Amino acid sequence: MATSNINQLLIRNIDALSATTPLLVNIADDGFITQYLTQHGAAKVDSYHTNYAEYKTCQQLNNARVQAHFCVEYIAKNKHDMAIIHFPKSKAEFAFTLAMLAESMTEDATIVIVGENKGGIKSAEKLSKTYLEYCHSADAARHCLMYIAKFIPNIPRFDLQKFYKHYSVQVQDKTLQIAALPGVFSQKSLDAGTAVLLANLPDTISGKVLDFGCGAGVIAAYIGTIHPKTTLSLVDVSALALHSAKTTLALNQLTGEYIASDSLSQVKERYDFVISNPPFHQGLKTHYGATEHFLGEIKQNLASKGCITIVANSFLKYAPIMEKSIGKTKTLVVKKGFAIYQCYLNGRN
């Protein structure tokens, strides 16, 4: 695995990153942790992730000096003398991360913030004034920046609920209440693609339903509202998304099963209906591989006459992948730059 630009910047500063109980925050490991442990022999590392795939990669190091965590809210058992934070693509998520971490750090803890220039890292100093006493540029390389910072003493206690955005969605005659944390797709309003999808769902939906890449849970909430006898399962790679989806369903008096998964890796059941606005953005780059893998593998999770319906930007050629991997695929509608593709396993199309 090639070392990312961010980790190359960290490695070139590895001597200066000495700590006894460092916390890594959404740092994707491609060899950095092993190098860090070699350089700093007394360190015990905690690695916190909101991305399940990155969490599993870290967990697979199987090193007694590394503890991996996948959760929404990180709370340290023992306070950390350093945090190395990957600057997120969502500026609101950066504030969320700083507010959450303050209680887990020692008073004199060093805060290291790293990110790509095109990812907005240059705004770190401005965005952190509420939480950080100072935030100074320390190094630049590989189109990335690294800042050194320190928390302001006595930051108010973290309250997860204060970071939720709430809004209503009107779909035909149904009104849904949506809740979303920073960094979750469509945090502030219903996106156009999902709106087109909800207007073109199968007429009858019953049995077990999977919302793949659930985000804030809009699709599952709507299906559960109009088809109350369905059993809902929601899957996402993001801890922030899964927590948001659970909150959304609760607001609409619904319940579901919530599955943290790297694509379909943790999805074990077969479903009568799979409904999805599948993700094609990963980090800062447009990335289609995750959705192509999902479409190539979903057949194994469809019931004998299961149906899959997805929405995608109309320029994305997903229909041929569905034809090859699942069966005859219809394009139901092309509207507002989005296409709805549908395939019934073993017939109907």
For residue 171, being part of any structural domain is answered with no
> Residue 115: in which H helix or E strand, if any?
strand 105-116
Provide the residue range defining the domain that includes 18.
5-160
The mean of the pLDDT values for the chain is 94
Please choose, from the candidates 304, 306, 298, the residue with its C-alpha nearest in 3D space to the C-alpha of residue 272: 306
For residue 204, being part of any structural domain is answered with yes
For residue 172, being part of any structural domain is answered with no
CATH code (residue 269): 3.40.50.150
Same domain, 271 and 203: yes
For residue 316, being part of any structural domain is answered with yes
What pLDDT sits at residue 279? 79
What pLDDT sits at residue 284? 41
Same domain, 59 and 153: yes
DSSP 51-101: BHHHHHHHHTT--TTEEEEE-SS---SS-EEEEEEEPPS-HHHHHHHHHHH
Q: How far apart are CA 139 and CA 151, in angstroms?
A: 20
What pLDDT sits at residue 348? 62
Same domain, 30 and 137: yes
Please choose, from the candidates 59, 52, 100, the residue with its C-alpha nearest in 3D space to the C-alpha of residue 261: 52
Summarize pLDDT for 84-100 with one digit per residue, the tens: 999 999 999 999 999 99
What pLDDT sits at residue 287? 53
Summarize pLDDT for 24-47 with one digit per residue, the tens: 999 999 999 999 999 999 999 999
Q: Please list the ranges in the chain whose pLDDT falls under 50.
A: 282-286
Task: Please state the domain count of the chain.
Answer: 2
What pLDDT sits at residue 1? 67
Same domain, 318 and 195: yes
